[in-house]
Structure 1
Amino acid sequence: MARGRLRRRLAAVNQNLTSRHDADLVDVLSIPEKFVSPGRRIFRRVLYALGALFAAVLIVYLDRHGYRDLRDTPNPDDPLSFLDCLYYATVSLSTTGYGDITPVTPSARLVNVLVITPLRVAFLIVLIGTTVETLTTQSRQALKIQRWRKSVRNHTVVVGYGTKGRTAVAAMIGDDVAPADIVVVENNPAALERAKNAGLVTVRGNATDSEILRLASTQHAKSVIVAANDDNTAVLVTLTARELNPNATIIAAVRESEGQHLLKQSGATTTVVTSETAGRLLGLATQTPSVVEIMEDLLTPDAGFAIAERPVDIKEAGGSPRHLTDIVLGVVREGQLLRVDDERVDALELTDRLLYVRSKEDR
């Protein structure tokens, strides 16, 4: 009943975020940009200006017989020299035009090209460069949003960028997941800024709103991590995400074990009870602190040991996982996790996947 009502509510929404123009989403969806220093930006602008200038010079020079210098010369029909063409292109592109005072000697024209025009270009950059960049930033971001929405597929949506969300993202990046394949949904401005600084695509809004999840392209995501601070929010986000994407892997965190069955009923593939997990580690630390250390080592993919998954090699098929050189913890068969001591995995199959302990050097 609850899922049916939610489905009807989703279908009844006519005007939503996903139907808005890309330019209207700039304040909601943020695509990370590579930092470019101001000096390099000015240098690029100077190069572009020089390219345009010499293109104009070439055009004028190729058609130099069509231009005439109005000065008194022994032969007015003589074609323009290259310097004349350079001078003409320079004063034309810089909008100087022609006045009652014009350089007539080659030295004066050379000074105009080498000194006056660069100063004029620098003045234009200082005067309008910032304004033009401000006006084009929104259009550039809107174009990036349009391209991103068309191409993003099989990514991971992380709902919440608090301590749990940041740690989850760090673990994925440490396990060779590209930051471009991670989208963070968050409503807290400070958390959003941290996610942007980490080079992640961000969506500002409440993840309980289905349109915010649509904007994060949850319907095309490979997996969804629900790291909300509130258990009720986690349940509603999980239910909404499952309605949008029936095939995604949804990993949801809950503070108390009482909410674990609600997450399962809402469509969570895997649940993590944070309070009980932390409590178990605290209890273990009183008697066997080294166990806690090795657990932290296994959960840190970029240092020491880590738990990884790989397919069964053709040479390993038919054998027991306990006889492999890798330390195998479990076998995933047809979507079901079996422990290594389960008699059903005494003979490995080619379609199985192994959960094993991997060292940093094996990456």
Structure 2
Amino acid sequence: MKPPHRSTRSQGSNTALISSLWRRSRPDAEEIEAGRSIAIPVQDVAAPLRQVLRRLVMALLVLAATTLIVYADRSGYHDNADNSVDFLDAAYYATVTLSTTGYGDITPVGDAARLTNILVITPLRVLFLIILVGTTLEVLTERTRHQVRIHRWRSRVREHTVVVGYGTKGRHAIATLIGQGKRKSEIVVVDPQKKALDAANSDGFVGVLGDATRSDTLLRAELQKASQVVIATERDDTAALVTLTARQLNKHATIVVAVREDENVPLLRQSGADTVVTSSSSAGRLLGMSMMSPSVGSVLEDLLTYGNGLDVVDRPVTKAEAGRSPRQCDDLVVAVVRGHRLLHYTDPEAATLQLTDRVITIKQAPEQAE
């Protein structure tokens, strides 16, 4: 079976494509295990090595303080080896005492030394043990804290956007969403590559590692509660199966899919996509327009880049605009959305705006307007 971008437009080609999609839905055990990983960005957390070094410094400070205390009152201690306690003996006593080894060859014999052991050295021993045990618990409880963060995130996430694929298309789609006011906490990235997921996580996005053609991977991304789904995979057949799975899990979300070839657009629409963007033909049209007129190509590229120069904006009609012509709006209106219909601004039906309409306008980017 040839991939979709090499297939013919025949019905038999679509049948073969669908058949291949379902054959690809059988991942091995390694893929299933990889799909269990959810990465949630955590800010202001020290690196593990730095945490260990900080605890080690604290332990050494406690050891040094205990050594100085013992050495200052060395006359109150007895060494069975030579009946005298020097600085090395004080450090040795502090080490075996704090670690609770207690060989008994150096012992406090004076009242002041014994009182110091009760009131000072014993609390220092407890502190020393807390530091050591705390380092171990830090490692052991990290997994638990991660599971708690995942549980908290799942209980709170609603109406978010799931982006399948963190390649060039996926990253640019996310950049546009953020430019339009979408928060990073409202975006979840799904990708089968660990490297791509780490990049998304470092950029501040929740990530799910796994095969997006599997429903369990999309369920971990809480796709059933999402309001928008962006599918930007590398292959058209993968995009089709992801679309089928996503639509099965969520009947109401808006699904936008990127494909390489125009011949696969009908298949993606039948699979449940609301909008299908053809990357190769769109790039070809832009190349052709740029060849005919570089200025036209520059304007189109400007319109496609949100936040730079001119932006295409979908907004509701205001009360002041209702009943008026699109040409009387402050923004340049190029289309009117009425119900589920898209009307060109020259369409007679769009001659008078209604309060329930939405308009597609061209306006200056916010930073340019300032």
Shorter-chain TM-score above 0.5: yes
Matched, 1:34 2:43: yes
**Which one of 344, 349, 364 corresponds to residue 344 of structure 1?**
349
Tell me by how many angstroms 1:137 deviates: 1.2
Q: Give the distance between the partners of 1:282 and 1:118, measured in 2 at CA.
A: 73
Q: Deviations over 1:284-308 (max 9, x none)?
A: 2222122222222222223322112
Q: Secondary structure at the match of 2:208?
A: strand
Tell me by how many angstroms 1:273 deviates: 0.5
Q: Deviations over 1:42-74 (max 9, x none)?
A: 9x99xxxxxxxxxxxxxxxxxxxxxxxxxxxxx
Q: Secondary structure at the match of 1:309?
A: strand
User: What are the equivalent positions in structure 2 for 1:259-298 lying under 5 Å apart?
Assistant: 259-298=264-303
Q: Give the distance between the partners of 1:196 and 1:162, measured in 2 at CA.
A: 14
Partner in structure 2 of residue 206 of structure 1: 211
1:317 to 1:128, Cα distance in 2 relative to 1, 3 A:
same
Q: Secondary structure at the match of 2:189?
A: strand
Q: Give the distance between the partners of 2:39 and 2:109, measured in 1 at CA.
A: 51
2:108 alignment partner AA? I
Partner in structure 2 of residue 194 of structure 1: 199
Tell me by how many angstroms 1:210 deviates: 1.3
Tell me by how many angstroms 1:35 deviates: 2.9
**Which one of 127, 133, 147 corresponds to residue 142 of structure 1?**
147
Q: Secondary structure at the match of 1:277?
A: helix
Q: Secondary structure at the match of 1:348?
A: coil
Q: Secondary structure at the match of 1:350?
A: coil
Tell me by how many angstroms 1:132 deviates: 2.0
1:120 to 1:340, Cα distance in 2 relative to 1, 3 A:
same
User: What are the equivalent positions in structure 2 for 1:1-363 lying under 5 Å apart?
Assistant: 27-37=36-46, 101=108, 121=127, 125=131, 127-358=132-363, 359-361=365-367
Tell me by how many angstroms 1:233 deviates: 1.0
**How many equivalent residue pairs?**
296
Q: Give the distance between the partners of 2:241 and 2:35, measured in 1 at CA.
A: 26
Q: Give the distance between the partners of 1:154 and 1:102, measured in 2 at CA.
A: 71
Q: Contact 1:159 / 1:186 at 8 angstroms: preserved in 2?
A: yes
Tell me by how many angstroms 1:251 deviates: 0.2
With the length of structure 1 as denominator, give the TM-score of the two structures: 0.71
Tell me by how many angstroms 1:357 deviates: 1.9
With the length of structure 2 as denominator, give the TM-score of the two structures: 0.70
Tell me by how many angstroms 1:197 deviates: 1.0
Q: Give the distance between the partners of 1:320 and 1:102, measured in 2 at CA.
A: 100
Tell me by how many angstroms 1:199 deviates: 1.0
Q: Contact 1:219 / 1:245 at 8 angstroms: preserved in 2?
A: yes
2:286 alignment partner AA? L
The gaps in structure 2 that reach 5 residues or longer are: 1-14, 16-21, 23-32, 56-97
Q: Deviations over 1:7-36 (max 9, x none)?
A: xx9xxxxxxxxxxxxxx9995112211133
1:131 to 1:313, Cα distance in 2 relative to 1, 3 A:
same
Q: Contact 1:32 / 1:201 at 8 angstroms: preserved in 2?
A: yes
2:229 alignment partner AA? V
Q: Contact 1:26 / 1:138 at 8 angstroms: preserved in 2?
A: no
Q: Give the distance between the partners of 2:301 and 2:128, measured in 1 at CA.
A: 56
Q: Contact 1:231 / 1:255 at 8 angstroms: preserved in 2?
A: yes
Q: Give the distance between the partners of 2:191 and 2:227, measured in 1 at CA.
A: 19
Q: What is the alpha-carbon root mean square deviation over aligned residues? A: 3.7
Q: Give the distance between the partners of 1:165 and 1:249, measured in 2 at CA.
A: 16
Q: Give the distance between the partners of 1:25 and 1:137, measured in 2 at CA.
A: 19
Q: Give the distance between the partners of 1:294 and 1:102, measured in 2 at CA.
A: 90
Q: Give the distance between the partners of 1:343 and 1:138, measured in 2 at CA.
A: 62
The gaps in structure 1 that reach 5 residues or longer are: 3-8, 10-23, 46-93
Q: Contact 1:301 / 1:360 at 8 angstroms: preserved in 2?
A: no
Tell me by how many angstroms 1:256 deviates: 0.3
Q: Give the distance between the partners of 1:240 and 1:26, measured in 2 at CA.
A: 15
Tell me by how many angstroms 1:123 deviates: 7.6
2:43 alignment partner AA? K
Q: Contact 1:251 / 1:268 at 8 angstroms: preserved in 2?
A: yes
Q: Contact 1:26 / 1:141 at 8 angstroms: preserved in 2?
A: no
Q: Contact 2:166 / 2:189 at 8 angstroms: preserved in 1?
A: yes
1:132 to 1:343, Cα distance in 2 relative to 1, 3 A:
same
Q: Give the distance between the partners of 2:149 and 2:122, measured in 1 at CA.
A: 38
Q: Secondary structure at the match of 1:247?
A: coil
1:130 to 1:327, Cα distance in 2 relative to 1, 3 A:
farther
